[in-house]
Amino acid sequence: MKELQTFTDEKVDSNDLKIFLGNLGIEFTDQEKEKLLKTLPIDAAGKVYHNRLLKGVKSLNGGKVHVNNLDNTLKKLGLELTEEELAKLSKNLQVDANGMVGLKEVMDGVKATTDDNKVFKNRLLDGVKSLKGGKVNMNNLGTVLNNLGIKLADMELKDLAENMHVGVDEKIPLEIKVIPLENSTDGKHHRFYR
């Protein structure tokens, strides 16, 4: 359905590219505009689907955005960040003397906090961490913990597995508390509670 929508939305005249980009708050050089046009599937009437154009803009290694317009530009590109995510992104950007930042750098920063630019991994993981229920297959425990940002040594994972109540379905409750041991000299050893 996502790909189908790409072909069923309204079209933009390729001659209006400068206006379209301006409305997004993105500045391209003439060479970057030409490069973008070469990558787009433009029909015989000189038009391109709106979503295809947005996809091309997001993937092109060029263009600049004014840092003060960043939130608005991202929203127009279909990427809504929370205030915290936007602040974190803005903090790490290289802004030039004119207040501009490279679109590629912005998109790379957004990708670092998103999954396929749709589901924000950090939000998802925070939600999973706060769950008070659910179960994890014992065979996937290491992967699940790693994805939650909990890095365990093999011995720690083995210790955890041995001290957890595993049901007949080979699953354990997701609600696990991981506390670093105070006397750990390397800060890598943990105690596990359920």
Asked whether the beta carbons of 152 and 190 are under 8 A apart, the reply is: yes
pLDDT in tens, 121-161: 555 555 555 555 667 777 777 777 776 666 777 887 777 77
pLDDT in tens, 84-132: 888 888 888 899 999 999 999 988 888 776 565 444 555 555 555 555 5
* Confidence check: pLDDT of 52 > 60: yes
Match 């011995």 to its residue by tokens. 155
Question: What is the pLDDT at residue 174?
Answer: 61
Percent over 90 (pLDDT), the chain: 13
Question: What is the pLDDT at residue 4?
Answer: 41
Residues 142, 139: Cα–Cα separation, whole Å: 8
